[in-house]
Structure 1
């Protein structure tokens, strides 16, 4: 017993000695984004690191080694900005228009984050940090926080590798199969889709270079005057963590300092509240779980859409558990509503047959981790792409919100309830997704600690950032080779012409002599 105590004491000292001070800033007002950040910092705190986590969500949970800071100003301004219209209205925004919309939102987020009183207090403090983690969502100026504290810059994104991230990581951008998230194309694009995809990429890159990067640079130097230019900060990014998984998303080429940690927020099933446990246990015919996520509110669905959904549900023998944020008059007897539901724990119940979802990445990850197939009603962002992946792989059916009808929803439910292949594929995908060498939080923590140990780990960064765009694509080399080819052809033509002329002259001279 005494030996065990000595060993534990030694391990404790080692753990304290390796502990790092880490600042994590997640300014997005979307709860799904907060979930990823909070899961990461909880895991880092559990490993003994002293973590400060700043976000526009208040946390009432007390966790050892974790200090939470409420970005009150960010939250208030976000409520003012986004309360004027329903998020469901975004469905009418064309895919191409989403590019400047996201860019503008990124500028706004960078500005209000820096100006928040809590962030200003942090920046003006005498604190030191071993690493600074910031959420990356078109908010490049926030990398100045890491520069301010002379700490390695680590980025986390709630999506997977894409054109939105490759300019930071310098991972290969192969537009022949790497699609823009807003276009919702599969990797096997038609010729026309590849044309649209590459033109969309050109538009986004052009807008970034001409407008959004210079504006982000202005915000950066407004609050961090001594910072280098934005491009220097971008190329010195130490680590990029993606909320993606090749099983769920698609396999893509990644450079060494990019790590996929999709499913980091997944936890073992916990005991359900008694009323929910009884409801699920007693539903022998099965349960359909329905939630539109944290940002989209079911109560904001148009009345006609809501009524159509209820008519579909009323014809089912299965019970429906619906996350609905207020009372729902006229709901059928087989429909049970709650303002909030423990989604991961519900999806783990064996009586849950399928999940009706908006197609958000976190919800998709949670459904697959539990082996539950999905019927998606994607509205905006990457939701359509997530559902397209689900359809392609055979564990989901998509009913896009802008194409929604009562008949389409009914048909999708009947198809999935009557065809066991969806459930079977979801279970197979769950096995693949859960087959990990280590837990995702352990993977993330290892690489964060690695970057801290090795002073930013510059040896992991590729040289692509040192090249101009035409050098990166070898356009100068290609042009040079084309010119060489043209010169050689020209020389060959001139020489051939002269030889032919000389031969002709000799032939004519010989004929005259004869």
Structure 2
């Protein structure tokens, strides 16, 4: 097997903590999120090296695994190479993604993965709001459909013709996925009904054998007998971009703690408290696996949240982008997390959250319970991936797993035709009864006169 990596460099200043705090960018806005992800996908499929790959007639593949991140443009790879398409969903299953392999889940008990601040069961107005958000997403996707289709044709049409293949429209090809891998597990979210071809693989990125810590970090953690608090905002959002006022406030809070703090930070910080250690790069899984790690302060990405559950460490979530808000809300609802929003009151709120989690055993106990649920599996996620990829290839796209819901128009799913028939029938009966009554009334009048 040959492995080839094509590096596509894409820069965007929208994912800037300072801009998000100052409300210059709203990462929960539908247009903002979809346009950003379109720009990334479009830049990828039109990249020179990617185009060279598509146009090389000597290239052949058994399957294409494409990430669905608010765009179906990558479905064109499977069409050009004439092989099965497998979607990969990096967030918890939600309406837009599930509609590609089955149908939308009911918004009456499914929270919007970006905009919702609610966890089911919903109140009446929360249900109304969830429906409104679903319709808003669908409307905006329809609004930009022409743009996506033009980009799709530009990237893939010529490559398909070069192989004497007819490229179907994007609106058809995007439903050709054999199955969808989801970075999810019931321990991290809600137990909603999922299609047969949706496969949970949360934790696929976690090494089954924990790598040893670098010696300098190991010494720090071994000596931290009161416990270690690990703080990381992930790879996309840089802690160094926080306003200086917030950074200083957080450092003051950390300096008063009896625990050791390891902060993944992208640059050196002056005048560090003795108990605070800065790492430009942090072996996150190895740190969380250490028995002295008592708390994980995170941005709430699903990978980080899953790692916390895997190793049984409670979290404080500071969400910034997309599904991070609902991830943290779910963790709070499940009882192993506290949420702190990033603003100029963050240091004081963070102090109270740290005191609450470390001073209350229930958080540690609850995360251990959920960790057992997460780890109690018949197959490890990596094995699931290998098994299902082979299954899709051997069965030529696994058509037996495709949901019949894809063949049923929306008006039939909602029984709108039946409702229309009932309305017409009732109206017809009402009109017929009125006609009969009017005729009898007309006939009776002369009899009364005589």
Query: Is the TM-score greater than 0.5?
Result: yes
- Where does the alignment leave 5 or more consecutive residues of structure 2 unmatched? 158-165
Equivalent residue in structure 2 for 1:280, among 221, 227, 236? 221
Please state if 1:354 is matched with 2:295. yes
CA contact (8 A) 2:206 2:285 kept: yes
Task: Pick which of 435-444 and 253-262 moved more.
Answer: 253-262
Please state if 1:124 is matched with 2:124. no
- The alpha-carbon deviation at position 503 of structure 1 amounts to 12
**Structure 1 match to 2:205:** 265
Please state if 1:254 is matched with 2:194. yes
Q: How many residues align?
A: 438
Distance in 1, Cα, partners of 2:154 & 2:71: 14
Distance in 2, Cα, partners of 1:302 & 1:480: 61
Distance in 2, Cα, partners of 1:97 & 1:242: 21
> With structure 2 as the length reference, what TM-score do the two structures score?
0.91
Equivalent residue in structure 1 for 2:3, among 52, 67, 71? 67
Equivalent residue in structure 2 for 1:167, among 85, 95, 99? 99
Task: Pick which of 188-197 and 455-464 moved more.
Answer: 188-197
> With structure 1 as the length reference, what TM-score do the two structures score?
0.80
Change in 2 beyond 3 A, CA 1:507/1:312? farther
Distance in 2, Cα, partners of 1:173 & 1:88: 35
Change in 2 beyond 3 A, CA 1:93/1:435? farther
Secondary structure at 1:169's aligned position in 2?
Answer: coil
After superposition, the C-alpha distances for 1:161-218 in whole angstroms (9 at most, x for unaligned) are 112312312233211111211223212222222222211211111111232x222211
**Structure 2 match to 1:99:** 30
Of Structure 1 and Structure 2, the greater helix share is in 1
- The alpha-carbon deviation at position 395 of structure 1 amounts to 0.2
Please state if 1:417 is matched with 2:350. no
CA contact (8 A) 2:28 2:114 kept: no
Distance in 2, Cα, partners of 1:384 & 1:85: 15
After superposition, the C-alpha distances for 1:475-504 in whole angstroms (9 at most, x for unaligned) are 2222222332333455456667878x6999
**Structure 2 match to 1:10:** none
Distance in 1, Cα, partners of 2:339 & 2:19: 19
Please state if 1:447 is matched with 2:419. no
- The alpha-carbon deviation at position 453 of structure 1 amounts to 0.8
CA contact (8 A) 2:255 2:275 kept: yes
- The alpha-carbon deviation at position 145 of structure 1 amounts to 0.9
- The alpha-carbon deviation at position 144 of structure 1 amounts to 0.8
Equivalent residue in structure 2 for 1:475, among 401, 416, 425? 416
Change in 2 beyond 3 A, CA 1:96/1:487? farther
Change in 2 beyond 3 A, CA 1:409/1:138? same
- Where does the alignment leave 5 or more consecutive residues of structure 1 unmatched? 1-49, 51-65
**Structure 2 match to 1:241:** 181
Distance in 2, Cα, partners of 1:474 & 1:389: 33
CA contact (8 A) 2:28 2:322 kept: no
Task: Pick which of 85-94 and 128-137 moved more.
Answer: 85-94
- The alpha-carbon deviation at position 403 of structure 1 amounts to 7.0
Change in 2 beyond 3 A, CA 1:180/1:403? farther
- The alpha-carbon deviation at position 94 of structure 1 amounts to 7.9
Secondary structure at 1:401's aligned position in 2?
Answer: coil
Please state if 1:343 is matched with 2:284. yes
Please state if 1:305 is matched with 2:231. no
